[in-house]
């Protein structure tokens, strides 16, 4: 099969011809149809996440068909349409797994980071960490739901019942979560790079009631803010436009250092918290909700061989919505 392989962090991926992976009794072999390109992939490829297996096939927003099943697989059969998310394995018996917080499992393993992922024509995955996906949605449209959608949904849940919601960084996750927030009757205020009129227009197109630069003053204070951009300097910016008792949710797996800020903008029982990974319950809930809304993703397709270009375009902020590798 063809695969785009990371051999050395901070260097381009290499197109290689390698063997189709073998699957164990509890695994499924998946013929990949599409894999969305996530900002976390950038952090892995650029060496900002320090524990990748090498060589590595990146990618964790995988859509495909099951090509074969191991002897112990009961949940799926060949031909089923499935998605594979970031969370690829947990121990199942630690304090976090037993309390519904498997996303915090110390022995967790992640697709496209410690497990080979979706920048390839085939992959394997444990049957318990694969989601069935409706055939009503195209592979390309569904791929961003597997991380941008699920992580967006988890971050939205952390804002509680916030009605005025600020979103910093309007890309793949933001354009999905805005649709969910609108469906729930919330009002979204989008904060983008200063002068990025294209991103601001896209935010309004997706349902934001206001869009401006990251340091602009919105017309009202926010009940909560979600930060998708990996920029630590946005944390104090978000705190400054937050009501008392509000929360700032940092939704990325990696962020630059948060600068010092005055206690006065945190005081008033404001809170800063992070999102770590996802649980399978998050995925199940979100995929059902996305089908009911229904969520519409905006995508830009690339060939598998053009994965480096897709990563470059994401890095440069050139994308509207999500880049998707199409096999």
- Give the pLDDT of residue 179: 98
Residues 111 and 39 in one domain: yes
Q: What is the dihedral of CA 43, 48, 49, 50, to 10 degrees?
A: 150
CATH number of the domain at 257, please. Answer: 3.40.50.720
- Structural domain span for residue 79: 2-146+278-326
Two structure tokens written together for 294: 């229904």
Residues 249-269: tens digit of each pLDDT:
999 999 999 999 999 999 999
CATH number of the domain at 142, please. Answer: 3.90.180.10
Residues 92 and 138 in one domain: yes
In this structure, the strands spanning 187-192 and 122-126 are unpaired
- Give the pLDDT of residue 297: 98
- Give the pLDDT of residue 199: 95
Running DSSP on this structure, what letter comes out for residue 193? Answer: S
- Give the pLDDT of residue 190: 98
In this structure, the strands spanning 271-274 and 299-303 are unpaired
Kindly report whether the global pTM for this prediction surpasses the value 0.85: yes
User: Of the candidates 305, 314, 146, 317, which has an alpha carbon nearest to the alpha carbon of residue 325?
Assistant: 305
Residues 166 and 229 in one domain: yes
Two structure tokens written together for 305: 């061989």
Residues 37 and 168 in one domain: no
Number of domains observed in the structure of the chain? 2
Residues 133 and 78 in one domain: yes
- Give the pLDDT of residue 316: 94
Two structure tokens written together for 192: 């983008």
Residues 175 and 248 in one domain: yes
Low-confidence ranges of the chain (pLDDT < 70): none
In this structure, the strands spanning 210-213 and 187-192 are parallel
Element (H, E) at 237: helix 234-239
Element (H, E) at 141: helix 139-142
Residues 32 and 84 in one domain: yes
Helix 172-183 vs helix 148-157: angle between axes, to the nearest 10 degrees? 50
């Amino acid at each position: 099969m063809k695969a785009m392989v990371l051999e050395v962090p901070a260097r381009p991926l290499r197109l290689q011809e390698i063997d189709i992976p073998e699957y164990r009794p509890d695994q499924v072999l998946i013929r990949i149809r599409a894999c969305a390109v996530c900002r976390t992939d950038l952090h892995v490829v650029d060496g900002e996440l320090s524990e990748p297996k090498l060589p590595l096939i990146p990618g964790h927003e995988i859509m495909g068909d099951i090509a074969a099943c191991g002897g112990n697989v009961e949940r799926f059969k060949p031909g089923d349409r499935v998605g594979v998310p970031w969370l690829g394995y947990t121990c199942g018996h630690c304090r976090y797994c037993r309390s519904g917080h498997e996303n915090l499992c110390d022995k967790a393993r992640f697709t496209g980071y410690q497990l080979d992922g979706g920048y390839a024509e085939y992959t394997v995955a444990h049957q318990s960490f694969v989601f069935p996906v409706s055939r009503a949605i195209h592979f390309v449209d569904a791929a961003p739901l597997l991380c941008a959608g699920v992580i967006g949904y988890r971050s939205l849940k952390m804002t509680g019942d916030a009605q005025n919601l600020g979103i910093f960084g309007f890309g793949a996750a933001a354009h999905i979560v805005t649709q969910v927030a609108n469906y729930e009757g919330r009002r979204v205020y989008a904060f983008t790079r200063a002068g990025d009129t294209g991103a601001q227009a896209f935010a309004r197109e997706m349902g934001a009631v206001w869009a401006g630069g990251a340091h602009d003053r919105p017309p009202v204070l926010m009940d909560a803010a979600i930060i998708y951009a990996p920029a630590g300097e946005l944390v104090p910016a978000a705190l400054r436009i937050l009501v008392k008792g509000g929360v700032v949710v940092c939704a990325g797996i990696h962020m630059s250092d948060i600068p010092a800020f005055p206690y006065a903008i945190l005081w008033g029982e404001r809170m800063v918290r992070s999102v770590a990974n996802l649980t399978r319950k998050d995925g199940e809930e979100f995929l059902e909700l996305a089908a009911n809304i229904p969520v519409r993703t905006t995508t830009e397709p690339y060939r598998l061989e053009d994965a480096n270009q897709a990563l470059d375009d994401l890095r440069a902020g050139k994308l509207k919505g999500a880049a998707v590798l199409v096999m």
